[in-house]
Amino acid sequence: MSAPIRLPSGVRDFLPRAAARRRSLAERVTGVFEAWGYARIITPVFECADVLERGLGHGARAAAIRFVEPGTGEVVALRPDITPQVARLAATRLADQEGPIRLCYEGALYRLSGRLADELGQREILQAGIELIEAPAPSGDAEVLAVAAAALAASQLPETRLDVGHVAPVRCVLGAARDDDHRDALAAALARKDRARLRACARQLPAEIQPLAEVLGSLWGPAAETLARARALPWPSEVEAALAELTAVLAAFAELAELPSATSVTIDLGDVRGFDYYTGVRFAGYASGAPDAVLRGGRYDELIGRYGRPARATGFAIDLEALVDAQRASGVAAAPLSRGIAVHGAGAAALARTLRSRGTRAVTCATAPSASWLRGAGLDAAVSTETGEVLHRDGASEVLRVEILASALETMEIHPCPS
């Protein structure tokens, strides 16, 4: 008996309408990136594992799917993150290019993740993002935040939020932990915003850090109010400098951004995600209809140096699949396809060429198609070049003058097929 036809765990096909929605969203988002001056690059799906892993944190290295490349015997890895690939390019192929360097990308990445990792399954993630290299704070961070806001706006979701923070307060508190177990307990309490557990863990910290740790879990909310509360606390000098930097970044962002009314900005100084990767301002983007962040980013000034070129850098990545799920949950319609016409009869090829030259999708058919075929093919109507009869995808029909078919089809009331 032959093996059943199946896909590996964690990957899936996208049929035409689903693929069209994702393609349209990716093009809108990358269009935003290019409008802000970011040049699109394409990086390989797999790389030599030891090179790629220079730029990966512990979690991403554990999530990488590795295999032996048959031609060379090299151990290679499917990319679980694209940022290290951009870092490699910046340090090698673009080593002589003067900064700031603005690059953007979109594509699939592959990770062993969570339960799937235990089952040796894989997860495919569609992602788009930007990296801004050799741009200082606060201007570079403000620009990246502004592009993130514009990209979220391009999703047309009814409500989005940028949640901004800085790694310094969390590093200050976790760095005072007495051992790794204590540090992990503090991080878990902060992640859950568990104030009771945070108070209990704080008792084992130095006296001057205890009150800071207890309040850190509550330092989230509207930007101006939360920053004011944070800056009133007796932080060490390096955290005070970080909070001043964050204040400057948000001021520059307010001047630079084209912030839509649907997007709000909040602060979360107790967010522990990425605190061991990012080196300064970090942020996440949330959208109505999505249970978790759809966008994550921040400053990572140490990464490119691992590839031989010390350089400041900041950027973010958007999970396009999460954004599509948010659109569906919020009732955001996919961008419609351009109208599509099936043409049959004598001279069908000539009429189809004319329609395509005017921006209409057009196919030729040997015989008159049915309405159900039109729906399955994602087309809006079929037209006979001989009689002028037009069959719509909903089954309705009408007759147009044969001699003006091309012009009549352009102005005819057709509701394009949704993607």
375-387 pLDDT, tens per residue? 999 999 999 999 9
Give the H or E element holding residue 65. Answer: strand 65-68
H or E, element range at 382: strand 381-384
Q: Is residue 148 part of a domain?
A: no
CA dist 328 → 181, 263, 288 (Å): 41, 18, 10
- C-alpha closest to that of 298 among 99, 141, 133, 130: 141
Last residue of one domain, picked from the residues 285, 314, 349: 285
362 and 315 co-located in one domain: no
Residue 2 belongs to some domain of the structure: no
| CATH (domain of 319) | 3.30.930.10
Which amino acid does the sequence have at 86?
Answer: V
Q: How confident is the model at residue 417 (pLDDT cuts 50, 70, 90)?
A: low
Model confidence at 117: pLDDT above 70: no
Same domain, 260 and 320: no
Q: Supply the CATH number for residue 380's domain.
A: 3.40.50.800
Same domain, 100 and 207: no
CA 419/CA 378 separation, integer angstroms:
8
Task: Give, for 402, the enclosing helix (H) or strand (E).
Answer: none
Q: Residue 316 burial by CB count (10 A; 0-12/13-18/19+): exposed, middle or buried?
A: buried
Co-location of 96 and 163 in the same domain: no
Tell me the pLDDT tens digit for each residue of 308-361.
999 999 999 999 999 999 999 999 988 888 889 999 999 999 999 999 998 899
Q: Which domain range does residue 172 map to?
A: 157-285
Does residue 52 surpass a pLDDT of 80? yes
Instruction: pLDDT band for 120, please (50, 70, 90 cuts).
Output: very low
Q: Give yes or no: residues 162 and 235 share one domain.
A: yes
Q: Specify if 293 maps to a domain.
A: no
Q: Are 102 and 38 in contact (CB under 8 A)?
A: yes
Structural domains in the chain (count): 3
Indicate whether 57 belongs to any domain. Answer: yes
Distance of CA 58 to the CA centre of its chain: 21
Residue 260 lies in a domain: yes
* Residue 151, domain member (yes or no): no
The values of phi and psi at residue 364, to 5°, are -105, 145
Q: Work out the angle between the directed axes of helices 237-256 and 167-174 (0-180°, nearest 10).
A: 160
pLDDT (average), residues 249-271: 89
Q: What is the pLDDT of residues 207-223, one digit of tens each?
A: 999 999 999 989 999 99
- Identify the residue with better confidence: 129 or 412: 129
Indicate whether 121 pLDDT > 50: no
Q: Determine if residue 112 is left, alpha or beta; phi over 0 gives left, psi from -120 to 50 gives alpha, anything else beta.
A: beta
Residue 418 pLDDT exceeds 60: no
Residues 77 and 20 in one domain: yes
Please tell me whether residues 320 and 349 are part of one structural domain.
no
Answer yes or no: do 394 and 364 share one domain: yes
Report the predicted TM-score, pTM, of the whole model to 2 decimal places: 0.89
> Cβ contacts of residue 26 below 8 Å, gap of 6+?
106, 126, 128, 320
| Gyration radius of the chain's alpha carbons | 26
Cis upstream peptide for 138 (omega within 30°): yes
User: Do residue 161 and residue 262 come from a single domain?
Assistant: yes
- For residue 337, count other CB atoms closer than 10 A to its CB: 18
Q: What are 388-398's pLDDT values in tens digits?
A: 999 999 999 88
Return d(Cα 360, Cα 284) in angstroms, integer. Answer: 40
Instruction: Identify whether residues 273 and 173 lie together within a single domain.
Output: yes
Mean pLDDT of 161-180: 93
144 inside domain: no
Mean pLDDT, the chain, integer: 90
Do 184 and 93 share a structural domain? no
Q: Is residue 322 part of a domain?
A: yes
Handedness of CA 396, 398, 404, 405 (dihedral sign): positive
For residues 313 and 238, state if they share a domain: no
- The 3-state secondary structure of 81-143 reads CCHHHHHHHHHCCCCCCCCCEEEEEEEEEEECCHHHHHCCCCEEEEEEEEEEECCCCCHHHHH
**Across residues 2-20, what is the average pLDDT?**
87
Pick from 127, 111, 110, 104: which is nearest to 26 by CA? 127
